[in-house]
Structure 1
Amino acid sequence: MWIGHFKVWHENCIYLTNSSKFNVVISMYPLNSYVEGKYRYHTNVNILSGSHDDIKQFITAIKKDKRCLEFKGSGNVYLSYMRMKLSDYHTTNYYTPKIFLLKPIIHKDGKEEWYFGAWEREIVSDLYNSFKKFFHVEMLSIKEQDFTDLFIPHIMPKITEKQKEAIQLAIREGYYDFPRNIHLNELSKITGVSRVTYLEHLRKAECKIIPEMFGYSIKEDKKKGKKKK
């Protein structure tokens, strides 16, 4: 399998413009795409990272754009339904079923980051060449290898605003890096709450999110454990 890794910038992107403006990071995963008349329609899953106020402003701006037909969800997970003119230049207009995303498309710091696979090198090269005609593209790598990481979108478990802020801060500040770049005492000072309170929010978020990532349900597993006893 061939894996392509690009960074792309284009000025008329509805996501990039608002992502940079409101300091929101978007992890986007295309669900489907079809052409009807002079338009291409896209449905995407969007996972938003940022402060509550920044995300709120971002969503308001997105909904005002005529290209956005629907943008619905809650917390930080939203489904979008976009209509793009075929004559306009958007990266998603060049998305092809011949490639498969290994990670979501990240919109951050004014650029889109694409990490995807294809069965032939030519398919990866063709997408790069298509992007290069109309966008600023930085090729990070094209290589043949077996993949070890795969992102599969699913409904995120519901967490509170405090829990979301706690885990997003931990990610941004490098708490999950190895070695750790920051410790709990420092994280709690940033949020202005006690170490115990911050840790409670963080652990509750982890307990809801991590089991879901691997197909486990804590409630169901507890029920099964009780039945066995």
Structure 2
Amino acid sequence: MWICKLQIKHDCFIGNKCEKYKVSTISVPFSVYVEKGVTYSPELHTVWGEEKNIKQFVDALRKDTNIKHMEVHGNKIFLVEVTKKKIPVTVRAAMGPQIIFTKPIYINAKGEEVWEVATWKKELLIDFIRDVKKIAKKVVVERMENSFLDDIYYSALLPKLTEKQKHALTLAYEHGYYEWPKKASLGKLAKLMKVSLPTFREHLKRAEQKFLPELIKKYNPHI
């Protein structure tokens, strides 16, 4: 299979609000379809960020006339995005099952989307990228390779984290704490969260204690 990881920036109802309110989302698109030039995109979003920012993000979505149906439960949002303009999921819908999502779409606090898709022909990926470039402000191909597709990530049930634990884990990830070498210290992250170092360390430790066992179980069903 040909697997491709893309970073996409476009005029997105969701991405624009992520950038404005400094939140990020993990988005799972469902059966996107196009009818008479209108794209209908049912999506499930898990939103990460400060509680007040998430509230502003949700309030803005409720006021958006392009969001036709919306259900909110904590930091999880189900919505149906309806638009006459072409967006990246419009391109994907046009290609049908030839383009497979291997991971959820990640939208960061800069409004940039990270896609990972796969198909059995390189030419199909090239066509997909070409068509997305026509409607996006920026498209960066981070990786394209021919390899065996041994895992497809479907939306797993994340462990129940408190808002502060989610915030600490998100900050650590987004600022490169888990990269090597580390791009951020615990002290820097504590300042960003506006809490003391011991408090931040405790939130992150508890989040990791809940999250890591679930991650390990996902890849080792015998545990």
Alignment partners' CA distance in 2, 1:196 and 1:19: 29
**Could you tell me which residue of structure 1 aligns to residue 147 of structure 2?**
145
Query: Across the two proteins, how many residue pairs are aligned to each other?
Result: 214
Equivalent of residue 181 in structure 2, options 158, 179, 185: 179
Alignment partners' CA distance in 2, 1:209 and 1:69: 33
**Could you tell me which residue of structure 1 aligns to residue 212 of structure 2?**
210
* Higher deviation after alignment, 61-70 or 201-210: 201-210
Residues 88-135 of structure 1 deviation map (CA, whole Å, 9 limit, x = unaligned):
211111123211222322323243232211111121112122223333
* Structure 2 residue runs without a partner (length 5+): none
Give secondary structure in 2 for the equivalent of 1:97.
helix
Bigger radius of gyration: 1
Give secondary structure in 2 for the equivalent of 1:8.
strand
Alpha carbons of structure 1 residues 189 and 25: separation in structure 2 relative to 1, 3 Å: closer
Question: How much is the aligned-residue C-alpha RMSD, in angstroms?
Answer: 2.7
**Could you tell me which residue of structure 2 aligns to residue 90 of structure 1?**
87
**Could you tell me which residue of structure 1 aligns to residue 80 of structure 2?**
81
C-alpha contact 2:28 2:45 (8 A) present in aligned 1: yes
C-alpha contact 2:49 2:166 (8 A) present in aligned 1: no
Q: C-alpha displacement at 1:194, in angstroms?
A: 4.5
Give secondary structure in 2 for the equivalent of 1:210.
helix
Length-normalised TM-score, structure 1 = 0.78
Length-normalised TM-score, structure 2 = 0.80
**Could you tell me which residue of structure 2 aligns to residue 107 of structure 1?**
107
Alpha carbons of structure 1 residues 136 and 186: separation in structure 2 relative to 1, 3 Å: closer
Give secondary structure in 2 for the equivalent of 1:32.
coil
Q: C-alpha displacement at 1:14, in angstroms?
A: 0.7
**Could you tell me which residue of structure 2 aligns to residue 130 of structure 1?**
131
**Could you tell me which residue of structure 2 aligns to residue 226 of structure 1?**
none
* Structure 1 residue runs without a partner (length 5+): 222-229
C-alpha contact 2:3 2:146 (8 A) present in aligned 1: yes
Residues 192-224 of structure 1 deviation map (CA, whole Å, 9 limit, x = unaligned):
5444433332222222222233447xxxx8xxx
What percent of counterpart residues are identical?
A: 30
